[in-house]
Amino acid sequence: MSAPPSFALHTYGCQMNVRDSDLLARRLRAAGLAEAASEDEADVVLVNSCSVREKAEEKALGKLGLLCAARRSRPGLVVGLTGCMANRLGPGVFGLVPGLSFSVGPRAAPAAIAGLVRDALAGARGRFVPDPAPGEAASEPPLPDGGVPAAPPVQSYVTILYGCNRRCSYCIVPSVRGREESRDPRAIVAEVRAETARGARDVCLLGQSVMRYGLSGFAWPENLPSPMGFTEPLPRLLELVAREVPEVLRLRFTSGHPAGVTDELVRAMREIPAVCPHLHLPMQSGSDRILRAMRRGYDAAGYLDAVRRLREGVPDIALTTDVIVGYPGETEEDFEATRRAMEAADFDNAFVFKYSPRPGTPSSLLEDDVPDAEKRRRDQVLLADQDARGQRCNDRWVGRVAEVIAEGPSLRNPARWSGRTGQNKIVVFDPAPGLRPGDLVRVRIASARPQTLYGDPLP
């Protein structure tokens, strides 16, 4: 008997892609393929791509080019594309990447992947499967049994809201991920349960603008009441998942938007024990002028008001953010406003991105007039600010005891272990004998760096 064909996945982009890759891996395992020991030995390599910035697309195209060139020495190699670039490039991708076996949209992929791979292994080339059109969006086929990876992660993701209805001027996501569609809470509970059954303890619910969960084209099922008295869909969902799946020690949701920071949501974060005191709340800019141009739907004061309500309502909350530097027309004054707003928000962590014009977005019609060197400078200034701020935020933990879910050996020093707090802070500590991933450990924090806490476990 010959060995089953093997596959490898290469993932770019956001957590939604991480989750989709994991799902595709499970489907391929269920279809009889085996995970390759390395990409170099795989019979099938799937690239799960991101379109959000030009750099991300260049990386994926470079990768695909290399893989297709490797065909010269590996003639049967199947190379497939999925993720946001599959939608953005459409069938045109076969002209850009000669030799590509197939391309499939991220929503279509779960149902189509096994057949596409089987046909490609038999020699089929050039098949494109687009995502379903709005309205006909098929719900995901149920998860296949089996296909559990050797070391399932402690932290796991579950998509609750596909697509995005906001139209931020710079963003390609709405055009590659389609209209918003909220998943049924029972399907979400089932998936969270399946995640915990294979070892997940920290589950993050995903949506591009996650607080819009259940706000369009959706009715909360009548037979799912809220004992805590919530009326809004996201607080109800958090309550439901926490109640139905007690194995979830931690529940998060991302990404947030100030408009979604309602009193109910703040109460849900405070009163549901599994829901973490942590929120990723992209700010993008601190300049009212730029925020208006970006069509973000808030000004700096509105953003900071959401921050204030979160800090008042959720003790010890950690806030993280995304910021774009060098949006068209961003002046030194706008940039300084961003610096001040970041300081006022007191972010625990921040991701800074250099503006990248994306085809078809409203802002791509504006001149990309901040020179790259200046974008780089602003990026570095914000990162240096954040380093100091992150150090200050983390110093507040020194001497306190943090509840940490152990994940495994630390990347830097495998003799020690790392884990995460509810605030999503990484804590490095010496593992007690017999410690297993997913165990809850109490760690007294002894020292801090901008991105990491160090400490000693209590007996």
With respect to ligand SF4, which residue has the nearer C-beta, 298 or 454? 298
Beta bridge partners of residue 325, listed in sequence order: 354
C-alpha to C-alpha distances, 404 to 98, 411, 439, nearest whole angstrom: 48, 17, 8
Q: 280 burial class (0-12, 13-18, 19+ CB within 10 angstroms)?
A: buried
Q: Contacting ligand F3S (CB under 6 A), which of 8, 9, 14, 154? A: 14
With respect to ligand SAH, which residue has the nearer C-beta, 208 or 421? 208
Q: Contacting ligand SAH (CB under 6 A), which of 356, 418, 423, 424? A: 356
State in angstroms the smallest separation of the CB of 397 from ligand F3S: 30
With respect to ligand SAH, which residue has the nearer C-beta, 170 or 417? 170
Say which entry of ligand SF4, ligand F3S, ligand SAH, none residue 425 contacts (CB below 5 to 8 A, set by partner kind). none
Say which entry of ligand F3S, ligand SAH, ligand SF4, none residue 51 contacts (CB below 5 to 8 A, set by partner kind). ligand F3S
- The site map against ligand SAH for 136-175 (x = CB under 6 A) is ----------------------------------xx-x--
- Output the six-digit token pair for 186: 């029972």
Beta bridge partners of residue 350, listed in sequence order: 321
State how far the Cα of 61 lies from the Cα of 100, in Å rounded to an integer.
Answer: 11
- How many Å separate Cα 104 from the centre of its chain? 20
State how far the Cα of 205 lies from the Cα of 225, in Å rounded to an integer.
Answer: 20
According to the binding rule CB under 6 A, does residue 173 interact with ligand F3S? yes
According to the binding rule CB under 6 A, does residue 185 interact with ligand F3S? no
Q: What residues line the site for ligand SF4 (CB under 6 A)?
A: 164, 166, 168, 171, 173-174, 208-209
Say which entry of ligand SAH, ligand SF4, ligand F3S, none residue 174 contacts (CB below 5 to 8 A, set by partner kind). ligand SF4
Among residues 80, 75, 76, the alpha carbon closest in space to that of 63 is found at 80
According to the binding rule CB under 6 A, does residue 353 interact with ligand SAH? yes
Residue 88 identity (one-letter amino acid) = R
State how far the Cα of 193 lies from the Cα of 62, in Å rounded to an integer.
Answer: 38
- Output the six-digit token pair for 189: 């509970």
According to the binding rule CB under 6 A, does residue 209 interact with ligand SAH? yes
State in angstroms the smallest separation of the CB of 209 from ligand SAH: 6
Locate all alpha helices (DSSP H) within 231-366, ordered by sequence: 233-244, 263-271, 288-294, 300-313, 332-345
Q: Are strands 44-49 and 34-35 parallel, antiparallel or unpaired?
A: unpaired
- Output the six-digit token pair for 184: 């049924």
- Output the six-digit token pair for 182: 């909220």
Report the site for ligand F3S in 32-91 (rule: CB under 6 A).
Answer: 50-52, 83-84
State in angstroms the smallest separation of the CB of 338 from ligand SAH: 12
Please identify, among the stretches 38-46, 89-97, 108-116, 169-177, the one whose residues bind ligand F3S according to the rule CB under 6 A: 169-177
- How many Å separate Cα 50 from the centre of its chain? 12
With respect to ligand SF4, which residue has the nearer C-beta, 173 or 269? 173
Secondary structure of the chain: what % helix, strand, coil (to 5)? 35, 20, 40
With respect to ligand F3S, which residue has the nearer C-beta, 344 or 351? 351
User: What is the Cβ-side half-sphere exposure of residue 303, based on CA atoms within 13 angstroms?
Assistant: 33
With respect to ligand SF4, which residue has the nearer C-beta, 169 or 262? 169
Residues lying near ligand F3S in the complex (CB under 6 A): 13-14, 16-17, 50-52, 83-84, 173, 176-177
Binding site for ligand SAH (CB under 6 A): 52-53, 170-171, 173, 208-209, 255, 282, 284, 322, 324, 353, 355-356, 358
